A and B are shown apart, each in its own frame.
Chain A
Amino acid sequence: AQKITQTQPGMFVQEKEAVTLDCTYDTSDQSYGLFWYKQPSSGEMIFLIYQGSYDEQNATEGRYSLNFQKARKSANLVISASQLGDSAMYFCATSNEGGTSYGKLTFGQGTILTVHP
C-alpha cells in the first residue's frame, strides 16, 4: 500500500520569492515514481514534475524542482520566483512502477498555495 502525507494545508508566499511544499511518502514498492500536480480553481489537474525512485539527481522543470531525499522518504516541491498564477492547490502523488498497478496514482490531501503581490 502507498500513502502520501502533505502536512501543510495552506502556504503563503510573496511574489518572486521561493517556496517549498512538503511531501512525505510511504511505500513498500522497490520501484516507484513521485509526482507533483497543480490544480487551479478551474479544477483541471496539471502535471508539473516527476522523480523516479532510482533517479540519483533531483528532477527540475523550469521553475519547479523536486527535492528528493529517499532515506527520509520525502519529495518536496520547490517553486522558485513565485508568480501570481502559481496560486492553486498542489498535490503530491506516488505510483508503483511494476506489476499490474503500474501508473496508478495515490495522492496526498494537497496544499493550497497563495502568492501575494
Chain B
Amino acid sequence: DTGVSQDPRHKITKRGQNVTFRCDPISEHNRLYWYRQTLGQGPEFLTYFQNEAQLEKSRLLSDRFSAERPKGSFSTLEIQRTEQGDSAMYLCASSLNLNYEQYFGPGTRLTVT
C-alpha cells in the first residue's frame, strides 16, 4: 500500500488558464476528500465523494471548480479560469467508510501568476 498520491506536486500557471489535479486514494478506501490550504491556515474542506457519488460541496467551491471520481477510484479537481486567489495547497484525503482517520496525500501546490 503506497498511500494517497497526488499529481502534480507543483503547478505554476498564468491567470485565466485551466488546471487539473489528480488524486489516487488508498486502494480500498471508498471516501475521498478535497481540501484547500493557504499559507498559515488550516485546511478548508472543498468536497467529498463516497465511491463515485459527490455527496457534499463547500460554498467555497465556486462554479469554476469541478471535481469528479468517475469510477470510484481516482479523482480529479479542475479549476477553470484560474485567479491569483486560487494559489494554495490542494490536499486530497481518503478513508474507509466506517473508519474515522483520513489519510492525506502530499498535496499539489498551485501558484497562479
Q: Majority SS of interface residues in chain B?
A: strand
Stretch from B17-25, B43-51, B68-76, B78-86 that touches the partner? B43-51
Report Cα–Cα, A91/B41, bound state, in Å: 10
Interface residue ranges, B against A (CB under 8 Å): 31, 33, 35, 40-45, 48, 55-56, 89, 91, 93, 95, 100-107, 109
Q: Is A81 an interface residue (CB 8 A)?
A: no
Give the residues in chain B near A106, CB-CB below 8 Å: 45
Q: Is A109 an interface residue (CB 8 A)?
A: yes
Give the residues in chain A near B48, CB-CB below 8 Å: 103-104
Number of interface residues of A (CB under 8 A): 25
Of the residues A4, A44, A100, A105, contact of B102 by C-beta under 8 Å: A105
Report Cα–Cα, A101/B48, bound state, in Å: 9
Q: Which A residues, 24 to 44, have Cβ-Cβ distances below 8 Å to chain B?
A: 33, 35, 37, 42-44
Report Cα–Cα, A39/B107, bound state, in Å: 12
Give, as a whole number of angstroms, the nearest-CB distance from B87 to chain A: 15
Of the residues A100, A101, A105, contact of B43 by C-beta under 8 Å: A105
Contact status A47-B89, CB under 8 Å: no
Report Cα–Cα, A52/B45, bound state, in Å: 20
Report Cα–Cα, A108/B109, bound state, in Å: 20
Q: Is A64 an interface residue (CB 8 A)?
A: no
Give, as a whole number of angstroms, the nearest-CB distance from B93 to chain A: 7
